[in-house]
């Protein structure tokens, strides 16, 4: 499916590490479904980043050696990402991209192996905890969405002080829940602290999430809930002109 | 040259499902004496320095930057002149 309803006005960057494997899915979601421009950023390229939003895609950067994201965080492009993010630029880290952002210290906390010691690849329900972030501006508060996860290491952990801080500052964006929106231990696929599936930095311009929104942007692929994340980003960048979906 | 052995372990407060699985496996093999198992990492490094103070400073820095994630892990090391 190709969306050519409008002329692209925004430019997304998709950062490529050796071992990234969801890069083309993100590129496709932005270009073909969203209808905006997308470019790859090679990890070893240290040029300044001039984009409207940068995506760190999923995969196994550097083979997950040592810890997921541990080596990727030192890439020259990551140094540039720090400057870009410090200037308020939007960053979306998905799965391994989330792990890299945690390792880089751009998001608080850390990721451990799933509590059940199983690789999980399935659709999960998420409750939208905050709908006034740049990444969720088109969601309804408390909306329940279905987005797939695909990871062995997605068990989010932070110390008590950090948890209190991210909770009180409204940094938790998505929590794992059941189809009715109940946030419970049964609905927690990987043991994540407080069912956290996605959270932002304190400034709110960097979102990391384990679920893969790029994998559910079209009906043909089983759902369009993920597209709302990308559409929220463009909506925020364009000044929030699009009406919130009923 | 200094040979360094770096041990990276999960912090005490962090649950270790891998250690628990190994523990259960040991119990099922009949090793009922085992009370707890924690799985960590062991890293060997050769350093082209001879001063132990310098080696200690280097190892602290590299452990904090890369070898361990200090949010969830502790590290320690031993040095040996070779």
pLDDT tens sequence across B26-64: 999 999 999 999 999 999 999 999 999 999 999 999 999
pLDDT digits (tens, 9 = 90+) for A29-87: 999 999 999 999 999 999 999 999 999 999 999 999 999 999 999 999 999 999 999 99
What percent of chain A lies above the pLDDT cut of 90? Answer: 92
pLDDT for A246: 41
What percent of chain A is modeled with pLDDT above 70? Answer: 96
**ipTM of model:** 0.88
pLDDT single digits (tens) A127-138: 999 999 999 999
8 Å CB contact of A157 and B14: yes
Q: Identify whether A185 is a catalytic site residue.
A: no
Tokens matching residue A109: 């906390």
Determine, for residues B17 and A117 on separate chains, whether the beta-carbon distance falls below 8 Å: yes
Asked whether the CA dihedral A141, A145, A150, A156 is positive or negative, the reply is positive
Q: Is the pLDDT of residue A5 over 90?
A: no
User: Which backbone phi and psi does A27 adopt, to 5 degrees?
Assistant: -55, -45
User: For chains A and B, what is the number of CB pairs under 8 angstroms?
Assistant: 34
- Check if the beta carbon of residue A90 is closer than 8 Å to that of residue A127: no
Say whether pLDDT at A3 is over 90: no
As a whole number, the mean pLDDT across chain A is 95
Which SS3 state, helix, strand or coil, does residue A177 take? strand
Report d(CA A190, CA B34) in Å as an integer: 27
User: A212 catalytic, yes or no?
Assistant: yes
User: Cα angle at A169 between A166 and A175, to 5 degrees?
Assistant: 50
**In this model, does residue A210 exceed pLDDT 90?**
yes
Write out the E strands in chain A: 11-16, 37-42, 53-56, 90-94, 110-112, 120-128, 144-151, 155-157, 172-177, 196-200, 206-209
- Rounded-to-integer distance, Cα A200 and Cα A205, Å: 7
CA gap A42, A48 in Å, rounded: 12
The tens digit of pLDDT for each residue in A213-225 reads: 999 999 998 899 9
Instruction: Locate A134 and state its tokens.
Output: 């740049």
Give the pairing type, strands B73-81 and B2-10: antiparallel
Task: Determine, for residues B72 and A70 on separate chains, whether the beta-carbon distance falls below 8 Å.
Answer: no
């Amino acid at each position: 499916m190709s969306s050519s309803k409008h002329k692209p006005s925004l430019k997304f960057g998709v950062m490529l590490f050796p071992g990234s494997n969801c890069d083309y899915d993100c590129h496709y979601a932005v270009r073909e479904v969203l209808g905006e421009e997308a470019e790859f950023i090679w990890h070893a390229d240290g040029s300044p980043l001039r984009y409207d939003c940068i995506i760190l895609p999923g995969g196994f950067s550097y083979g997950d050696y040592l810890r997921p994201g541990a080596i990727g965080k030192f890439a020259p492009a990551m140094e540039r990402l720090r400057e870009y993010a410090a200037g308020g630029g939007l960053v979306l880290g998905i799965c391994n991209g989330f792990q890299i952002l945690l390792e880089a210290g751009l998001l608080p906390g850390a990721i451990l192996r799933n509590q059940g010691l199983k690789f999980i690849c399935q659709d999960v329900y998420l409750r939208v905890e905050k709908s006034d972030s740049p990444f969720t501006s088109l969601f309804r508060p408390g909306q329940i969405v279905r987005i797939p996860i695909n990871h062995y290491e997605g068990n989010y952990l932070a110390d008590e002080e950090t948890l209190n801080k991210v909770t009180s500052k409204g940094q938790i964006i998505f929590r794992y829940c059941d189809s009715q929106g109940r946030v419970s231990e049964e609905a927690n696929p990987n043991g994540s602290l407080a069912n956290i599936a996605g959270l932002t930095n304190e400034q709110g311009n960097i979102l990391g999430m384990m679920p893969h929104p790029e994998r559910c942007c079209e009906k043909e692929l089983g759902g369009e809930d993920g597209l709302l994340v990308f559409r929220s980003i463009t909506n925020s960048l364009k000044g929030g002109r699009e009406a919130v979906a009923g | 040259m200094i040979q360094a052995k770096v041990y990276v372990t999960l912090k005490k407060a962090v649950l270790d499902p891998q250690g628990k699985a190994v523990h259960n496996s040991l119990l099922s093999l009949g090793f009922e004496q085992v009370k707890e198992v924690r799985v960590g990492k062991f890293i060997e490094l050769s350093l082209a320095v001879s001063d132990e103070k310098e080696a200690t400073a280097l190892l602290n820095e590299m452990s904090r930057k890369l070898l361990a994630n200090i949010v969830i892990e502790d590290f320690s090391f031993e040095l040996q002149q070779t």
